[in-house]
Chains A and B, each alone.
Chain A
């Protein structure tokens, strides 16, 4: 009887890898799924952990903070000490205050670099892969992973985005050609809670 139970347990364990094996998705399907997730998101808040590993620096910079977004063009990033700072983007108006009591900086970006412009691009379904990009996508246990590989010699070598079926963003990894890597993990993400204009301010 004991031997039978051991065999049963082993059989279950053997089955387990098969149930969690990643399913490769067509690149366009993965990218379109990502677009749809953004399309159904009106706003979100999340706790953010950003780990920066420079290829020339042995230690890793670990920054924690919160992130907020609201369509069509509001974005707020608040980092906690010791790397404190607040970055607010109102379409193409960038406001930033670094450090404790730092001065407020305002920079007007070109209109085509504004949030409104970028998110307007997400309104239409994708019918083909954008030029200059290679894309890999897979689905594993309800977690989508989309890897974007820009062709050519640009700054970014690889961008990895992980999100859940319901569009909840989990992880964003930016790998640069110089070997630097930034990993952003999102926790306690809440979507479509009805954020207000007052939620996007720099104190």
Chain B
């Protein structure tokens, strides 16, 4: 269950980074007309808090997230004393889940995640990472269209910023507390409501964007870990 929950949390975190890749029309939160060549989000690093709630339980944690556009992401979940509880690394379609305390890591493709181990958020990840405001989207209001995955989705914008996306199946992602960092609007709080009623919240605490993350940012750290195929990931 814990692993499932963490997967869900990580999936949502990935959604957040996807949200951040959206470059909302920047003129809408002020009266100033911002030039069309507003910088885009290329990298993001931040301490994050994560919260996962179902009808039965509530879990939360703090971690560090690194993101590089378009499809690299690292999330390190930390204990209160700073040690690593779990790590997620995504390079394109390749995924590594590491559990240093158990001395094990799982590696494979995102598509190889066992369905019972929380695949849903990863599917949402793909959905959001591919997201761009649909053609013809209004600065204020909603638009329903068929996205690149063939799913019908509704995108809601307020003053040019994407504030909500939902799928016909029931999943919904809401973006809150936009902050402008180096000219880029970044949602610092994200709330997902899954089709089964689970709610996941991610909050960016100290986001920095478009910094050089360094060569090691997305390199696997597998020293001392037993590497297993992702297909062997079990739900505790």
**Which of A's residues lie within 8 Å of B, judged by CB?**
50, 52, 54-59, 61, 77, 82-83, 85, 87, 96-99, 102-107, 153-156, 174, 176-180, 182, 184
Contacts and interface: CB of A to CB of B under 8 A. Distances in A.
Interface residues of B, number: 39
B62 A85 contact: yes
Contacts of B103: 153-155
A104 B82 CA distance: 20
Closest 4 CB pairs of A and B: A182-B82, A153-B224, A155-B100, A178-B221
A83 B205 contact: yes
Contact of A52 (B82, B216, B218): B82
B219 interface: yes
Interface string B47-72: 10101010000111110101000000
Contacts of A61: 47, 64, 82
A107 B60 CA distance: 10
B76 A59 contact: no
B74 A107 contact: no
Contact of A107 (B47, B53, B59, B76): B59
Contact of A105 (B45, B58, B84, B100): B58
B150 interface: no
Contact of B203 (A77, A87, A97, A99): A99
Given A56-B217, A103-B51, A50 B82 contact: yes
Contacts of A106: 58
Contacts of B208: 59
Contacts of B216: 55-56
A46 to B, nearest CB: 14
Contacts of A105: 51, 58-60
B49 A102 contact: yes
A56 B74 contact: yes
Contact of B83 (A55, A87, A176): A176
A131 B83 CA distance: 23
B214 interface: yes
Interface in B70-98: 74, 76, 78, 80-84
